[in-house]
Amino acid sequence: MIDINTFRLIDRFYFTSLSFDQKASIHFFLILLFIFCIWMFVDCIKRPDEMFAIGGDHGMLIWVLFIVITGELLIGAILD
């Protein structure tokens, strides 16, 4: 059976075998992804409730929670 430690060892081995340019490219992409998540969060906060296509009266709340939860899962999964 494969446990989480096996995946961590695979990740560490994979990233140590990359060149500096490859690691820099991955980090650049992750920074862009983080900036995009922040940008979408700010856009969602600024937008009035009437501008959301779904969610009715609670459209902003639904989308803010969605962005926060999926952003945290994405960032947490990448950093782990």
Structural tokens at position 18:
């990359």
**pLDDT-based confidence at residue 80 (cuts at 50, 70, 90):** very low
- Radius of gyration of the chain from its Cα atoms, rounded to whole angstroms: 18
pTM of the model: 0.61
Quote the pLDDT of residue 40.
83
pLDDT at 45: 87
Kindly give, in sequence order, each residue whose CB lies less than 8 Å from that of residue 9, ignoring residues fewer than 6 positions away. none
Residue 63's CB is within 10 A of a number of other CB atoms, namely 19
Q: Mind listing the pLDDT tens digit for each residue in 9-65?
A: 556 666 667 777 887 888 888 888 888 888 888 888 898 888 877 767 888 888 888
Residue 51 CA from chain centroid, whole number: 24
Alpha-carbon dihedral sign for residues 46, 51, 52, 56: positive
- Residue tagged 């803010």 (tokens): 64
